[in-house]
Amino acid sequence: MKKIILLAVGLAMLTGCAKQERVRQSEFMLDTICTITIYNEENKDKSSDELISEAFELCSDYEKIFSRTVEDSDIYRINHSNGQPVEVSDDTIEILEIAEHYSELSAGAFDITTAPLSVLWDFEGEAPHVPPAEEIEALRAKVDHTKIKTEGNTVTLEPPVEAIDLGAIAKGYIADRLSEYLRENGVTSATISLGGNLYAIGSNEEENRPFYLGIQDPKAEDGSILGYVTTSDKSLVTSGDYQRFFIEDGVRYHHILDPKTGYPSDSGLCSVTIISDSSVDGDALSTSCFVLGLDQGMELINSLDKIDAVFIDNDGNMYFSDGFDGEIEYTPAE
Ligand code: AMP
Ligand code: MG
């Protein structure tokens, strides 16, 4: 018997067909459910479970830097600095520079200084309601991304800006860091899901095929999938009006704000999915395009190299960027 087992193991090693068990863990982090699944890794010292636990520790470290509400985070200290310079980490400087890039690229549709408006709308609160118009107007005047000044490792918020919020970009930045960490530690096949941010490392080695990353049906309340994007080594990020919202007098008020009005963006889109190499680009662009709307958003996506998108409008129509004519494939769910 022993001989047979040894022979089987030996054969599996020779033919390279020893299949690794898929390992998956979920944690509640970044205000959402985060799941990491490893399909294959070649790390001689650490198990897949250990690698996932370490990745979650890294995620928690980033949350402690980027959170608006965790006291002592870089963002908390910036928001409580009363206009004084604040010393922050390299990661915070980097993410602020990326945010500024997308604010410029989107002509202000993406703006992390919308923070006071998000606090006022309080979409995560117990009983959110539409704030008084005068209050929205007063806080809209505090939105201006050009007033975030960085020099070396210091950040200063100049008046009228009082606060920033990385909710539209942090998950993408963190997904990139986690994928780097896992790759550096021998992971060749894995998926990372941080709420609406998905990232595929390599392809699905368990089934010898690319990964199928799902786009949620924005109109289905059970979170069912509308279709799949077939891809390897890519990020897929969705911004949707169904992710955080409340209904008042029959109207849906969702968490993606138009910095120009101070109200939830009313561009006619209800879901924007970006497919890109880096998840921080996808995260910033999904929010940007949601606010820009179909025409301007799709024009922006088609002007960018190696970035693709699927937009869904309020009537359920789907729109695909040019890359779907060849490189990327979309398959509707059955
Ligand atoms: P996302 O789900 O990535 O589209 O990001 C939405 C989150 O980003 C919201 O919950 C707010 O915290 C913040 N936010 C809302 N509107 C904007 C905007 N126009 N630009 C940047 N951040 C925003
Ligand atoms: Mg985003």
206 and 22 Cβ atoms separated by less than 8 Å: yes
What is the pLDDT at residue 34? 98
* Top mutation candidate among 95, 257, 274, 290 for ligand 1, by most atoms within 8 Å of CB: 257
* Top mutation candidate among 102, 114, 123 for ligand 1, by most atoms within 8 Å of CB: 114
Both tokens assigned to 283: 């995260």
User: What DSSP assignment string belongs to 184-243?
Assistant: HTTEEEEEEEETTEEEEES-BTTTTB-EEEEEE-TT-TT--EEEEEEESS-EEEEEETTS
**CA 283 to ligand 2 center in whole angstroms:** 4
What is the pLDDT at residue 19? 64
Tell me the pLDDT tens digit for each residue of 281-322: 999 999 999 999 999 999 999 999 999 999 999 999 999 999
Can you say whether residue 43 is alpha, beta or left, with left for phi > 0 and alpha for psi between -120 and 50 degrees?
beta
**CA 168 to ligand 1 center in whole angstroms:** 4
Query: Is residue 4 scored above 70 in pLDDT?
Result: no
Query: Is residue 159 scored above 90 in pLDDT?
Result: yes
Query: Is residue 2 scored above 90 in pLDDT?
Result: no
Tell me the pLDDT tens digit for each residue of 164-196: 999 999 999 999 999 999 999 999 999 999 987
| Predicted TM-score (pTM) of this structure | 0.94
**CA 270 to ligand 1 center in whole angstroms:** 14
What is the pLDDT at residue 1? 43
Which range (12-21, 145-154, 322-331) has the least confidence? 12-21
29 and 57 Cβ atoms separated by less than 8 Å: no
Which range (17-31, 96-110, 276-290, 291-305) has the least confidence? 17-31
Residue 157 pLDDT grade (very low, low, confident, very high; cuts 50, 70, 90): very high
Cβ < 6 Å from ligand 1: which residues?
110-112, 114, 118, 165, 167-168, 239, 243-244, 255-257, 259, 283, 286-287, 291
* Top mutation candidate among 237, 242, 256, 266 for ligand 1, by most atoms within 8 Å of CB: 256
Q: What is the mean pLDDT of the chain?
A: 93
* Top mutation candidate among 287, 289, 292 for ligand 1, by most atoms within 8 Å of CB: 287
Tell me how far apart the alpha carbons of residues 237 and 221 are, in angstroms, rounded to a whole number: 19
Residue 223 pLDDT grade (very low, low, confident, very high; cuts 50, 70, 90): confident
What is the pLDDT at residue 7? 41
Ligand closest to 100 (CA) is: 1
What is the pLDDT at residue 113? 98
**CA 103 to ligand 1 center in whole angstroms:** 12
Tell me the pLDDT tens digit for each residue of 51-61: 999 999 999 99
What is the pLDDT at residue 18? 52
CA angle 281, 175, 143 (to 5 degrees): 50
**Mean per-residue pLDDT for 237-265?**
96
Alpha-carbon torsion (302, 307, 313, 319), positive or negative:
positive
Give the percent of the chain with pLDDT over 70: 94
Give the percent of the chain with pLDDT over 90: 90
Ligand closest to 195 (CA) is: 1
Tell me how far apart the alpha carbons of residues 231 and 252 are, in angstroms, rounded to a whole number: 33
Ligand closest to 106 (CA) is: 1
Query: Is residue 96 scored above 80 in pLDDT?
Result: yes
What is the pLDDT at residue 139? 98
**CA 12 to ligand 2 center in whole angstroms:** 44
Query: Is residue 265 scored above 80 in pLDDT?
Result: yes
